[in-house]
């Protein structure tokens, strides 16, 4: 079986990988909100991919959290009023 006669130096070895480099990703526009986004990925602005809702966006999560907080505060206020009446 053939064996290399000499060790390859690091620069010579590394030349093989010098041209791998990073490729520029394609940019597309979302069909729902017209935001620029990477091609073939879910839009982070509206959460749609190919016309189907996939993700809940940050704003949507914040709205539902806000509603939950308001409901919780209202419930706590109601309990506080009942305790005042009883106590």
Q: What is the domain partition of the chain in residue ranges?
A: 25-86
20: its two tokens: 């791998």
Q: Distances in Å between the alpha carbon of 73 and those of 56, 62, 65?
A: 24, 16, 12
44: CB partners within 8 A, 6+ apart = 35, 37, 55, 57
Q: Please write the tens of the pLDDT for every residue from 16-66.
A: 888 888 888 899 999 989 999 999 999 989 999 999 999 898 888 899 999
Q: How confident is the model at residue 87 (pLDDT cuts 50, 70, 90)?
A: low
28 has which bridge partners? 37
Q: Classify residue 46 by its DSSP letter.
A: T
């Amino acid at each position: 079986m053939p064996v290399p006669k000499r060790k390859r130096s690091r620069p010579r070895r590394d030349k093989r990988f010098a041209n791998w480099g990073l490729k520029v990703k394609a940019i597309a526009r979302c069909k729902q909100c017209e935001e620029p986004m990477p091609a073939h990925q879910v839009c982070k602005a509206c959460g749609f991919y190919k016309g189907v809702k996939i993700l809940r966006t940050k704003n949507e999560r914040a709205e539902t959290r806000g509603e939950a907080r308001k409901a919780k505060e209202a419930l706590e206020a109601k309990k506080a009023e009942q305790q005042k009446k009883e106590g």
